[in-house]
Structure 1
Amino acid sequence: MFREMRRKNQVLSSEECIQVLNRATSGVLAVSGDDDYPYAVPLSYIYHNNKIYFHGAKTGHKLDGIMRNEKVSFCVIDQDEIVQEEYTSYFRSVIAFGKARIMEGEEKKRALEILTARYSPDIEETQRSQAVDKGLMGVCMIELEIEHMSGKEAAGLKKAKSKE
């Protein structure tokens, strides 16, 4: 169902893909947009238990696309360093494919708590909890259950790792 990567020597392991998802703080969600145009939107997210969680407004282009077609992809660029003398870039990225759904009730609240803990770790838990309770009704939480994930790294980065 999902294509294999052509350049197998540049493939990241599952563990490395998860490290990238845990390290990065933003990525691009692609959904089925209006008039069959893809719609890609940059988002903050959190990776947790083989799922990716996003938050946003309760209406809009992104949600319309998810309601039209639950199949989405999400891309994270972990590194992108131009190496002029080699006429290339040293990059590392991950793309996840899966089905997105809008969360409700306690699971929505729990996902928002996980998200706020990631982005506000220095804020006291009680204060974060109050913020979650206050904002819960006005926010939409989306869960992306990952069905397939792949990562790729520039050949130059792979070489540098193997020398370590």
Structure 2
Amino acid sequence: MKDMRRKERQLTPEETDRLLQTGVFGVLSTVGSGGVPYGVPLHYVYHHKVIYFHCATDGLKLDLLDQNNRVSFCVVVDAVVLPERFSTRYSSVILSGRAFEVFDLEKRAGLVALLGKYSAGYLDQGTRYIEKAWERTKVYRIDIETCTGKGTITSKSSRD
């Protein structure tokens, strides 16, 4: 993989982890037959240094993952357009890895982690919902192979 061009904007591993923990959604990118790319936004949780996401039991995303489980995942936070500077300030993480469907205890752990991230005030109701939707839900884990965080400047600097 090529090195980041704007090294002064590279986030530390700790900053990158924090961004992955606080991001609201990410874009999962896969490759289909004939090399056709496909990206889909989804909710996720960064838990124990892997990404978990849930989905229905069928669909294009799953068909593509069955063909090729190599993925890219991108999270963008704190985006602010700076029209007078013809720029945008944001922080992002791009990672690549392999996506695997998980089952049983790990499936439950992934769903509970998602519940804790997005619906922490509704744990009892969410746990019941997990049980009711169990057979209609798949959970995938992305094992991260490469991960780079980037943050743009937050104050005026000669780095523009």
Report the TM-score, using the length of structure 2 for normalisation: 0.91
CA 1:19–1:130 in structure 2 vs 1: closer, same or farther (change >3 Å)? same
**Which SS does the other structure have where 2:57 is aligned?**
coil
Secondary structure of the residue aligned to 1:19 is helix
Cross-structure match for 1:120: 119
Residues 1-164 of structure 1: pairs in structure 2 closer than 5 A: 2-123=1-122, 125-154=123-152, 156-157=153-154
Q: Assess if the C-alpha contact under 8 Å between 1:10 and 1:158 holds in 2.
A: no
Q: Which segment drifts farther, 36-45 or 109-118?
A: 109-118
Shift of residue 128 of structure 1?
Answer: 2.4
Provide the secondary structure at the position in 2 that maps to 1:157: coil
Summarize the Cα distance change of 1:158–1:148 in structure 2 as closer, same or farther, 3 Å threshold.
farther
Query: How far is 1:59 from its partner?
Result: 1.0
Q: Distance in 1 between the 2:115 and 2:52 partners?
A: 11
Percent of matched pairs sharing the same residue: 34
What is the alpha-carbon distance in structure 2 between the residues aligned to residue 36 and residue 86 of structure 1? 36
Residue 26 of structure 1: how far off its partner (Å): 0.4
Quote the Cα distance in structure 2 between the aligned partners of 1:88 and 1:25: 23
In 1, Cα distance between equivalents of 2:105 and 2:130: 12
Q: Which runs of 5+ in 2 are unaligned?
A: none
TM-score when scaled to structure 1? Answer: 0.89
Asked if 2 retains the 8 angstrom alpha-carbon contact of 1:12 and 1:152, the reply is yes
**Matches of 2:84 and 2:98, distance apart in 1:** 41
3-state SS of 2:128 partner:
helix
- The runs of 4+ residues in structure 1 deviating greater than 4 Å are none
Q: Deviations over 1:76-113 (max 9, x none)?
A: 11122111222211111111111101111221112111
- 1:118-147 Cα distance to aligned partner (Å, 9 max, x none): 111111x33322221111111010100111
Report the 3-state secondary structure (helix = DSSP H, G, I; strand = E; otherwise coil) of the residue aligned with 2:19: helix
Q: 1:12 & 1:95 partners in 2: Cα distance? A: 11
Asked if structure 1 preserves the Cα contact closer than 8 Å seen for 2:32 and 2:68, the reply is no
Q: Deviation at 1:29?
A: 0.2
| Contact 1:29–1:73 under 8 Å retained in 2 | yes
Cα distance, 1:65 vs structure 2 = 1.3
How many residues align? The count is 157
Q: 1:33·1:61 contact (CA, 8 Å) conserved in 2?
A: no
Query: RMSD in angstroms over aligned alpha carbons?
Result: 1.5
Which ranges of structure 1 fall in alignment gaps of 5 or more residues?
none
- Distance in 2, matches of 1:140 and 1:106, equals 13
